[in-house]
């Protein structure tokens, strides 16, 4: 799956290249990752046995700055998948005009099977193995699927032990007490909310008349669902890896989030104070959620959720990719033919890396911002770039994804060409 994922990701560039002026040298650079690392991580388990886990880190491009990208813990992690995610991060950072290149990391593991002590040993072992590959001016990890601020704190601490100096800027998404930024834990969902609000105003869709389904009720999906509900949107369905819930009248998202955090599952509740009542709802699968007749669909789980096999069932009018790569290129073409607007991942979920940038800046300066300042800066930056991409989309009558890739390609091309091109040397 992952190898085809990278090939599929690369296809998005072909269409975008028609709308930019970029040198052949720059395109040649972007065909390949700059550096890829595969490591074996020995972990002594609680029962005394030894297990070896495979870990990866890919720095796809660092022309515009040090690599930046999360680390995911998942049974399906592979080098090819990590390379694809690093490729997307390269364009995501360029879209938001961040001084970073694209990187990504991962460990092939089911973290739910490990104790907390085993998870800490695995995390510190990963940093032991990749310490020479990362750094505040080289490559900066962050949270991703099944990683969190605690794990980022272990990363920072282990790296600091190895370097014999406190180095908070080596990783972002840390706990506040270890140099983390206000708003980083909710940044992906908050950024997505700002993008949705900006775009839905252009489509003349008032919140009170707009229905929403969110696939994936993790850190990003739950945050964007709650923000949309608070803004007046009718969130009618949410799901996690086990399945979902649907209520035509709308769901009380804050109550569901509290239940999820306490019970690790989904239940349609309405809570007033400490009193919660179960409300009428249907149990649905993730596939059924994707096919719901709603105005807005938010895939916020994993990649390859909408493919050729299920794209004909999609009824939503607008799709915002809060997950990385949830729609294949083949499905993209079908959605476009159906007149469904897709707001791509490299814009819609860029809030996380944007606030990671803010955290990195704060770590290096020693000056820390309030939550209000962080969210103001995030909104300013992500709304401005959304407007720029919308303008390109309208000028050329092209999908938002193509416009976003063209926008990022132009920035990447200028940076890569500044190194010198065939034209420069030939003349």
Strands lying side by side in the sheet with 50-61: 35-44, 50-61, 101-108, 67-74, 139-143
Q: Quickly list H helices, 183-280.
A: 187-202, 219-230, 253-263
**Residue 193: closest CA among 55, 300, 281:** 300
Residues contacting 401, CB < 8 A, separation 6+ = 12, 332, 342, 344
**Residue 71: closest CA among 143, 120, 140:** 143
CB 239 within 8 A of CB 245: yes
Q: Please state, in angstroms and rounded to a whole number, the distance separating the CA atoms of residues 18 and 81.
A: 27
First to last CA, the chain: 44
Q: Please state, in angstroms and rounded to a whole number, the distance separating the CA atoms of residues 320 and 195.
A: 9
Structure-token pair, residue 338? 């159906």
* Active-site residue (options: 92, 104, 260, 317): 104
Long-range contacts: 387-391, Cβ < 8 Å, 24+?
387/198, 389/95, 389/347, 390/198, 390/199, 390/202
Bridging pattern class, strands 243-246 and 50-61: unpaired
**Residue 283: closest CA among 313, 238, 315:** 238
Q: Quickly list H helices, 318-399.
A: 329-337, 345-348, 351-365, 371-396
Strand partners, 240: 243
Classify 374 as helix, strand or coil: helix
Structure-token pair, residue 216? 């994936």
CB 77 within 8 A of CB 107: yes
**Taking the CB of residue 135, how many other CB atoms lie within 10 A of it?**
16
Structure-token pair, residue 326? 């949830």
Between vectors from CA 33 to CA 156 and to CA 93, what angle results, nearest 5°? 60
Is residue 116 part of the annotated active site? The answer reads: no
Classify 157 as helix, strand or coil: helix
Q: Annotated active-site positions, please?
A: 104
């Amino acid at each position: 799956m992952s190898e085809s994922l990278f090939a599929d990701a690369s296809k998005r560039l072909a269409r975008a290249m028609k709308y930019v002026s970029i040198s052949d040298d720059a395109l040649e650079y972007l065909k390949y990752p700059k550096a890829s690392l595969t490591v074996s991580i020995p972990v002594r388990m609680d029962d005394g046995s030894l297990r070896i886990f495979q870990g990866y880190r890919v720095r796809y491009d660092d022309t515009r700055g040090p690599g930046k990208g999360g680390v995911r813990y998942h049974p399906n992690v592979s080098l090819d998948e990590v390379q694809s995610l690093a490729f997307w991060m390269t364009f995501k950072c360029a879209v938001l005009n961040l001084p970073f290149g694209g990187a990504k990391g991962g460990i092939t593991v089911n973290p739910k099977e490990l104790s907390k002590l085993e998870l800490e040993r695995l995390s510190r072992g990963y940093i032991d193995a990749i310490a020479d590959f990362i750094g505040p001016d080289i490559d900066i990890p962050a949270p991703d699927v099944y990683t969190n601020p605690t794990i980022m704190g272990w990363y920072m601490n282990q790296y600091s032990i190895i370097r014999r100096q406190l180095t908070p800027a080596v990783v972002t998404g840390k706990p506040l007490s270890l140099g983390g930024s206000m708003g980083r834990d909710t940044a992906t969902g908050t950024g997505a909310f700002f993008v949705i609000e900006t775009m839905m105003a252009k489509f003349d869709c008032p919140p009170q008349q707009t229905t929403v389904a969110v696939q994936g009720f993790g850190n990003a999906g739950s945050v964007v669902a709650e923000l949309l509900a608070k803004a007046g949107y009718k969130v009618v369905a949410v799901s996690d890896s086990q399945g979902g819930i649907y209520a035509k009248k709308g769901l009380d998202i804050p109550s569901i989030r509290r239940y999820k955090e306490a019970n690790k599952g989904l239940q349609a509740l309405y809570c007033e104070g400490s009193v919660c009542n179960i409300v009428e709802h249907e149990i649905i699968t993730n596939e059924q959620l994707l096919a719901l007749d709603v105005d807005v669909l938010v895939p916020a789980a994993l990649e390859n959720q909408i493919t050729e096999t299920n794209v004909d069932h999609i009824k939503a009018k607008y799709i915002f990719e809060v997950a990385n790569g949830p729609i294949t290129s083949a499905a993209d073409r079908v959605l476009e033919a159906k007149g469904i607007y897709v707001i791509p991942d490299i814009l819609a979920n860029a809030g996380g890396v944007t606030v990671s940038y803010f955290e990195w800046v704060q770590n290096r300066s020693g000056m820390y911002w309030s939550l209000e300042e962080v969210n103001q800066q995030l909104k300013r930056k992500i709304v401005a770039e959304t407007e720029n991409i919308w303008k390109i989309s309208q000028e050329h009558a092209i999908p938002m994804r193509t416009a976003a890739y063209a926008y990022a390609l132009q920035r990447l091309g200028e940076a890569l060409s500044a190194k010198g091109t065939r034209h420069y040397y030939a003349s």
